[in-house]
Amino acid sequence: MGGDNKRTGEKRLQILQTLAAMLEEPNPEKITTAALARRLDVSEAALYRHFASKAQMYEGLIEFIEDTLFGLIARLTADTPDPFKQVEAILSMLLGFAQKNRGMTRVLIGEALVNENPRLQKRINQLHDRLEAQLRQCLRFMDTGHTGKDPKLLANLYMAQVVGRWHQFAKSGFERDPAKDWPVLWRELSLPLERAQPA
Protein backbone atom coordinates (compact mmCIF):
# COMPACT_ATOMS: atom_id res chain seq x y z
CA MET A 1 0.00 0.00 0.00
CA GLY A 2 2.75 2.44 1.04
CA GLY A 3 4.65 1.58 -2.15
CA ASP A 4 1.60 2.45 -4.27
CA ASN A 5 1.30 5.82 -2.55
CA LYS A 6 4.99 6.49 -3.10
CA ARG A 7 4.71 5.59 -6.80
CA THR A 8 1.62 7.81 -7.13
CA GLY A 9 3.47 10.69 -5.45
CA GLU A 10 6.47 10.21 -7.75
CA LYS A 11 4.25 10.11 -10.84
CA ARG A 12 2.42 13.30 -9.76
CA LEU A 13 5.77 15.00 -9.22
CA GLN A 14 7.00 13.85 -12.64
CA ILE A 15 3.87 15.30 -14.28
CA LEU A 16 4.35 18.65 -12.51
CA GLN A 17 8.07 18.75 -13.37
CA THR A 18 7.25 18.09 -17.04
CA LEU A 19 4.59 20.80 -17.04
CA ALA A 20 7.09 23.25 -15.50
CA ALA A 21 9.72 22.24 -18.11
CA MET A 22 7.24 22.92 -20.94
CA LEU A 23 6.58 26.38 -19.48
CA GLU A 24 10.33 27.08 -19.50
CA GLU A 25 10.56 27.05 -23.28
CA PRO A 26 11.00 30.60 -24.64
CA ASN A 27 8.07 30.16 -27.06
CA PRO A 28 6.00 27.40 -25.50
CA GLU A 29 3.37 25.61 -27.50
CA LYS A 30 -0.14 25.81 -26.09
CA ILE A 31 0.00 23.42 -23.19
CA THR A 32 -2.79 20.90 -23.49
CA THR A 33 -3.18 17.63 -21.63
CA ALA A 34 -2.56 15.91 -25.00
CA ALA A 35 0.80 17.73 -25.42
CA LEU A 36 1.72 16.97 -21.81
CA ALA A 37 0.81 13.29 -22.24
CA ARG A 38 2.93 13.14 -25.43
CA ARG A 39 5.90 14.63 -23.60
CA LEU A 40 5.53 12.04 -20.83
CA ASP A 41 4.85 9.25 -23.33
CA VAL A 42 1.63 8.25 -21.57
CA SER A 43 -2.06 8.46 -22.41
CA GLU A 44 -4.24 11.40 -21.35
CA ALA A 45 -6.24 8.90 -19.30
CA ALA A 46 -3.05 8.16 -17.34
CA LEU A 47 -2.70 11.85 -16.49
CA TYR A 48 -6.27 11.99 -15.24
CA ARG A 49 -5.57 9.11 -12.88
CA HIS A 50 -3.27 11.48 -10.97
CA PHE A 51 -4.97 14.85 -11.51
CA ALA A 52 -8.69 15.43 -12.03
CA SER A 53 -8.02 18.32 -14.45
CA LYS A 54 -5.34 20.55 -15.93
CA ALA A 55 -6.39 23.21 -13.40
CA GLN A 56 -5.44 20.78 -10.63
CA MET A 57 -1.99 20.40 -12.20
CA TYR A 58 -1.52 24.17 -12.16
CA GLU A 59 -2.71 24.20 -8.56
CA GLY A 60 0.08 21.72 -7.81
CA LEU A 61 2.62 24.16 -9.31
CA ILE A 62 1.14 27.08 -7.34
CA GLU A 63 1.36 25.04 -4.13
CA PHE A 64 5.02 24.34 -4.87
CA ILE A 65 5.62 28.08 -5.41
CA GLU A 66 3.79 29.04 -2.20
CA ASP A 67 5.58 26.44 -0.07
CA THR A 68 8.98 27.39 -1.49
CA LEU A 69 8.62 31.18 -1.27
CA PHE A 70 7.07 31.32 2.19
CA GLY A 71 9.48 28.69 3.49
CA LEU A 72 12.39 30.83 2.29
CA ILE A 73 10.83 34.00 3.73
CA ALA A 74 10.40 32.34 7.13
CA ARG A 75 14.06 31.35 7.08
CA LEU A 76 15.22 34.80 5.93
CA THR A 77 13.25 36.66 8.59
CA ALA A 78 14.45 34.24 11.29
CA ASP A 79 18.12 34.60 10.22
CA THR A 80 18.02 38.37 9.64
CA PRO A 81 16.82 40.41 12.63
CA ASP A 82 17.24 43.79 10.89
CA PRO A 83 13.92 44.62 9.10
CA PHE A 84 15.75 46.74 6.48
CA LYS A 85 17.91 43.75 5.53
CA GLN A 86 14.83 41.49 5.65
CA VAL A 87 13.12 43.56 2.95
CA GLU A 88 16.26 43.56 0.79
CA ALA A 89 16.72 39.78 1.25
CA ILE A 90 13.09 38.98 0.41
CA LEU A 91 13.14 41.08 -2.78
CA SER A 92 16.45 39.55 -3.89
CA MET A 93 15.10 36.06 -3.18
CA LEU A 94 11.93 36.69 -5.24
CA LEU A 95 14.02 37.77 -8.23
CA GLY A 96 16.43 34.86 -7.76
CA PHE A 97 13.52 32.40 -7.60
CA ALA A 98 12.38 33.59 -11.05
CA GLN A 99 15.93 33.24 -12.41
CA LYS A 100 16.10 29.61 -11.29
CA ASN A 101 12.46 28.67 -12.05
CA ARG A 102 11.62 30.18 -15.42
CA GLY A 103 8.45 28.13 -15.95
CA MET A 104 7.18 29.14 -12.51
CA THR A 105 7.66 32.79 -13.48
CA ARG A 106 5.02 32.32 -16.18
CA VAL A 107 2.68 31.03 -13.49
CA LEU A 108 3.57 33.89 -11.11
CA ILE A 109 2.62 36.55 -13.67
CA GLY A 110 -0.52 34.67 -14.72
CA GLU A 111 0.62 34.21 -18.32
CA ALA A 112 0.40 30.41 -18.06
CA LEU A 113 -3.10 30.68 -16.60
CA VAL A 114 -4.79 32.57 -19.46
CA ASN A 115 -7.91 30.65 -20.55
CA GLU A 116 -7.56 28.33 -17.55
CA ASN A 117 -9.94 28.16 -14.59
CA PRO A 118 -10.37 31.72 -13.15
CA ARG A 119 -9.75 30.41 -9.63
CA LEU A 120 -6.09 29.89 -10.56
CA GLN A 121 -5.54 33.57 -11.33
CA LYS A 122 -7.39 34.44 -8.14
CA ARG A 123 -5.00 32.24 -6.19
CA ILE A 124 -1.97 33.91 -7.80
CA ASN A 125 -3.44 37.32 -6.92
CA GLN A 126 -3.76 36.14 -3.32
CA LEU A 127 -0.15 34.96 -3.40
CA HIS A 128 0.99 38.43 -4.55
CA ASP A 129 -1.10 39.99 -1.77
CA ARG A 130 0.51 37.72 0.83
CA LEU A 131 4.00 38.63 -0.40
CA GLU A 132 3.15 42.32 -0.25
CA ALA A 133 1.72 41.87 3.27
CA GLN A 134 4.99 40.20 4.32
CA LEU A 135 6.98 43.19 3.04
CA ARG A 136 4.56 45.55 4.79
CA GLN A 137 5.07 43.68 8.05
CA CYS A 138 8.87 44.00 7.80
CA LEU A 139 8.56 47.72 6.99
CA ARG A 140 6.26 48.28 9.96
CA PHE A 141 9.02 47.02 12.27
CA MET A 142 11.18 49.89 11.05
CA ASP A 143 10.90 53.39 12.44
CA THR A 144 9.53 54.79 9.18
CA GLY A 145 7.24 57.29 10.92
CA HIS A 146 9.54 60.31 10.77
CA THR A 147 10.34 59.75 7.08
CA GLY A 148 6.70 60.40 6.20
CA LYS A 149 6.67 57.15 4.21
CA ASP A 150 3.73 54.78 4.51
CA PRO A 151 4.83 51.11 4.85
CA LYS A 152 1.75 50.11 2.83
CA LEU A 153 2.78 52.29 -0.13
CA LEU A 154 6.43 51.23 0.05
CA ALA A 155 5.46 47.53 0.14
CA ASN A 156 3.32 48.09 -2.96
CA LEU A 157 6.17 49.93 -4.73
CA TYR A 158 8.65 47.14 -3.99
CA MET A 159 6.24 44.37 -4.99
CA ALA A 160 5.43 46.22 -8.23
CA GLN A 161 9.17 46.32 -9.03
CA VAL A 162 9.48 42.57 -8.53
CA VAL A 163 6.37 41.73 -10.57
CA GLY A 164 7.51 44.13 -13.31
CA ARG A 165 10.86 42.36 -13.52
CA TRP A 166 9.14 38.97 -13.59
CA HIS A 167 7.05 40.22 -16.54
CA GLN A 168 10.09 41.55 -18.43
CA PHE A 169 11.89 38.24 -17.88
CA ALA A 170 9.01 36.08 -19.15
CA LYS A 171 7.98 38.37 -22.02
CA SER A 172 11.57 38.60 -23.30
CA GLY A 173 11.66 34.82 -23.70
CA PHE A 174 13.84 34.74 -20.55
CA GLU A 175 16.46 37.04 -22.08
CA ARG A 176 16.15 39.89 -19.55
CA ASP A 177 17.71 38.76 -16.29
CA PRO A 178 15.30 39.78 -13.49
CA ALA A 179 18.16 40.29 -11.02
CA LYS A 180 20.38 42.35 -13.36
CA ASP A 181 21.64 45.54 -11.67
CA TRP A 182 19.33 44.82 -8.72
CA PRO A 183 21.85 46.01 -6.05
CA VAL A 184 22.10 49.38 -7.87
CA LEU A 185 18.33 49.70 -8.23
CA TRP A 186 17.82 48.69 -4.59
CA ARG A 187 20.10 51.54 -3.48
CA GLU A 188 17.70 53.94 -5.22
CA LEU A 189 14.54 52.22 -4.02
CA SER A 190 15.75 52.04 -0.43
CA LEU A 191 16.47 55.78 -0.14
CA PRO A 192 13.13 56.42 1.63
CA LEU A 193 14.23 53.90 4.26
CA GLU A 194 17.77 55.21 4.83
CA ARG A 195 16.72 57.97 7.20
CA ALA A 196 14.67 55.44 9.14
CA GLN A 197 17.76 53.45 10.09
CA PRO A 198 19.09 53.86 13.61
CA ALA A 199 22.13 56.15 13.68
Q: Does residue 199 lie in a domain region?
A: no
CA–CA gap between residue 77 and residue 90 (Å, rounded): 9
**How far from the centroid of its chain's Cα atoms is residue 102's Cα?**
10
* Range(s) of the domain holding residue 14: 1-51
My answer on whether 94 and 106 are in the same domain is yes
Let me know whether 42 and 63 are in one domain.
Answer: no
Task: Provide the domain count of the chain.
Answer: 2
Quick one: which of 50, 92, 61 has its CA closest to 184?
92
d(CA 162, CA 99): 12
Euclidean distance between CA atoms 98 and 104, whole angstroms: 7
pLDDT tens profile 115-145: 899 999 999 999 999 999 999 999 988 765 5
Determine, yes or no, domain membership for 167: yes
Same domain, 92 and 161: yes
The reply to whether 133 falls in a domain is: yes
pTM as predicted:
0.89
d(CA 173, CA 102): 9
The answer to whether 61 and 16 are in contact (CB under 8 A) is: yes
CATH of the domain at 105: 1.10.357.10
CATH code at position 5: 1.10.10
Q: What is the pLDDT of residues 50-62, one digit of tens each?
A: 999 999 999 999 9
Q: How far apart are CA 30 and CA 190, in angstroms?
A: 40
